[in-house]
Amino acid sequence: MSNNILLLHGPNLNLLGIREPDIYGNKKLSDINDHLKIIAKEYSVNLSIYQDNSESVIVEHIHDAYYSKVDFIIINAAAFTHTSVAIRDALSSVKIPFIEVHLSNIYKREPFRHSSYLSDIALGMITGLGENGYEAALRYAIKY
Ligand code: DQA
């Protein structure tokens, strides 16, 4: 069981609810996070959640996860999924198992979204299930 779980949200996910609701849904990020916090509480699991628009801050959170003994990471790196060797390297460095989550199905979208710098080093990837993808990832992480 994982006791210490970190959820990272990448750039522009702070605009959920406003941002392209036909693709990303109507829920705000705070609604999604609140729901996940309730599940974590039910299982007495410590869930830390951060959103950032900056690649370097996300890298720092991954480094901090090593020192604070995070057992499992759930990450929606958003646009950095398709560009960031730095986030990939950070995840490889700390060797903490992680699940990559995307709200939309990245394979149904523009070709530049079809590649991920993270998926081949992830434990698994959930794409296209909307907010349910986070819940599935969290339940998996708790059991892991
Ligand atoms: C996303 C998909 C990415 O391609 C996009 O850049 C995002 C969100 C998703 O959750 O569907 O910002 O990661």
Q: Per residue in 126-138, pLDDT tens?
A: 999 999 999 999 9
Which residues, in sequence order, are bridge partners of residue 40? none
Q: Which secondary structure element, helix H or strand E, spans residue 96, and what is its range?
A: none
Which of 32, 6, 27 lies closest to 17, judged by CA? 27
Active site residue 24: yes
Atom of ligand 1 nearest to the CA of 105: 11
Residue type, 98: F
104 C-alpha to ligand 1 centroid (Å): 7
Domains and CATH numbers, the chain: 4-143 (3.40.50.9100)
Q: What is the pLDDT of residues 95-131, one digit of tens each?
A: 999 999 999 999 999 999 999 999 999 999 999 999 9
Quick check: pTM over 0.95? yes
Q: Which of 28, 26, 32, 24 is nearest to 7 (CA)?
A: 32
Give 121's contacts (C-beta < 8 A, 6+ positions apart). 88, 91, 92
Residue from 9, 102, 117, 134 carrying the catalytic annotation: 102
